Structure 1
């Protein structure tokens, strides 16, 4: 029996901009119909025998990005999501330090996206928010080896849509394995200095 659907792999690629204190979402401009000229999540059709992570890497290569870490989120199976015919979308996440040729957007400032990519971003946002602080590997990819609590506040607000209480967030950070509060502070240029948190060195394989 012939398959009734294609499978696409669409990537929510994240980059934390420390200068702007913003979590940025990487997009690309489609060159082909449907939705030519529209911004979209980087994505490709899954090839026969291809692993999802390899397809995601191909999608990122379209905008000259390399992931420092990645993983799967959820699958979208609305039959009419692609005007070319039934296409499942496996939504994945990736964190990068690259800029590449991507069009970077704030989470709440992004333009309307092609296909159902607005829904993908909306539905995956709480999943990523649930990983922040609960998944040390994912969290460390976003924060880097050390970070001021102002960066933690910005990341939390970007993914949850709500500004956290600084004291509560510091208490949450104190519970994360491998993360510790230093005795150093960073000047934010406005308001009180920001406590610096640091990850313990990763064990040597």
Structure 2
């Protein structure tokens, strides 16, 4: 009877942390301080230690490499192509966070640098298979805006529908029709609530102010046009 060869695996955790900064969708990246891919941009992450829970490893690697912690991380995919890491067979459990008001990171561990970079500028240049992981994470974040009220977290306590539309346009990467978007938002139960106030622009008509509503999911969803 033929004996089957079982793969000897290393398990890693890789993290995609997205935010809206400077009117762009930005991702947290490190600059690798060691081989392979020395000096290249990569997503934060690293190997799971003996006896360590994968979720704990993800949080530890994020703090060690960037100094950021207390961030809600969601597992979203597993990557395991045999050639994805030149050091051997490595399976990555990947995590996503999309959050506002995140501070500047501080590099540490085996990262020689860490910072926020616009997704459009860094896409196509990441080490390992992190471009694919980033693409999948961005698509998941865009889908989250379709189904949940997360976009309101990127607005001030009181905001206009135009402010909210800007978040959608930045994350989705498309221009939205203002009237159609406003109609969808206002007709979605629990998405936003009017404050009764108005913002006076330098030119043009006053804009009504809203606050986040009580809902966490959107029913019906607000779907992309593309």
Question: Shorter chain as normaliser: what TM range?
Answer: 0.7 to 0.9
Deviation, structure 1 residue 56: 2.0
* Structure 1 alignment gaps of length 5 or more: none
Q: Once the 2 structures are TM-superposed, how far is the Cα of residue 195 of structure 1 from its aligned partner?
A: 4.8
The answer to whether structure 1 residue 116 and structure 2 residue 129 are counterparts is: yes
1: CA distance, partners of 2:73 / 2:131:
20
Q: What TM-score results when the alignment is normalised by the length of structure 1?
A: 0.80
Do the aligned residues in 1 keep the contact of 2:62 with 2:69 (CA within 8 Å)? Answer: yes
Cα shift at 1:35: 0.5
**Do the aligned partners of residues 189 and 69 (structure 1) sit closer, same or farther apart at CA in structure 2, a change above 3 Å counting?**
farther
Alpha-carbon separation, structure 2, partners of 1:168 and 1:16: 23
SS of the residue corresponding to residue 81 of structure 1 reads: coil
Aligned in 2, Cα 1:162/1:84: closer, same or farther, shift over 3 Å? same
Q: d(CA) in 1 for partners of 2:17 and 2:203?
A: 30
Q: Deviations over 1:21-71 (max 9, x none)?
A: 222211011101100111111112122343333222112211111244321
With 158-167 and 74-83 compared, the bigger mean Cα shift is at: 158-167
SS in 1 for 2:175: coil
Relative to structure 1, the CA distance from residue 100 to residue 7 in structure 2 (aligned partners, 3 Å threshold; closer, same or farther) is same
Aligned CA RMSD, in angstroms, stands at 2.9
1: CA distance, partners of 2:212 / 2:104: 24
Change (3 A) 1:176 1:60: farther
Task: Return the match for 2:72 from 62, 66, 69.
Answer: 69
Q: Tell me the TM-score normalised to structure 2 length.
A: 0.73
Equivalent residues of 1:133, 1:173 under 8 A apart = no
Q: Which runs of 5+ in 2 are unaligned?
A: 107-113, 216-226
Moved more, 69-78 or 80-89: 69-78
Within a 5 Å distance, the mapping from 1:157-176 to structure 2 comes to: 157-174=169-186, 175=188
Q: For the pair shown, which has the larger CA radius of gyration, 1 or 2?
A: 2
CA distance 1:57–1:63, shift in 2 (3 Å): same
* 1:141-182 per-position Cα deviation (integer Å, ceiling 9, x unaligned): 444644443443333233322222223333343326353243
